[in-house]
Amino acid sequence: MQRRLFLAGLALAPISASLARSVPSTFIAPRLAKELMAKHPDAVILDVRTPEEFRSERIPGAINLPVAEIVKGKLPAQLDDKNRLYFVYCRSGRRSALAVKLLEALGFKNACNLGGILDWPYEIER
């Protein structure tokens, strides 16, 4: 557990001091994510589900980037800043956890796993 917290702290070092204190690991609860989204309007929300799933429902403002595209290294221009704050979600949390690991391997410093849209208690676009 201590090692995980230490590694999470290293991954979040580039974020401002106040943000780093409020995000202890790569998984982030919806309530805290919503607060951080309000404080950091330049943050990117990534939906790593399939395009069909994305069309059916999504978190407002999300960009669709299927996890398969991340595996291939095909990243859109919106992901040009590896120090920006990224919130990643899928349906249940499994694909988003993988996507966060892949993004971290590609050098992204501040990718947080929101888990699944099934657990998102706020507004959803349909």
Given a contact cutoff of 8 angstroms between Cβ atoms, the answer to whether 19 and 109 are in contact is: no
Task: Check residue 61 and give its pLDDT.
Answer: 96
Q: Which two tokens stand for residue 82?
A: 């590896």
Given the residues 62, 90, 97, 99, select the one marked as catalytic. 90
111: nearest Cα among 57, 50, 18, 43:
43
> What does pTM read for this prediction?
0.79
Q: How high does pLDDT run on average in the chain?
A: 85
5-14, 66-75, 110-119: the lowest-pLDDT one: 5-14
Check if 112 is active-site.
no
Q: Rounded to the nearest 5°, which phi and psi values hold at 44? A: -110, 135
Looking at the predicted structure, is the pLDDT value of residue 5 above 90?
no
User: What is d(CA 89, CA 27) in angstroms, rounded to the nearest whole number?
Assistant: 10
Confidence of residue 32 (pLDDT cuts 50, 70, 90): very high
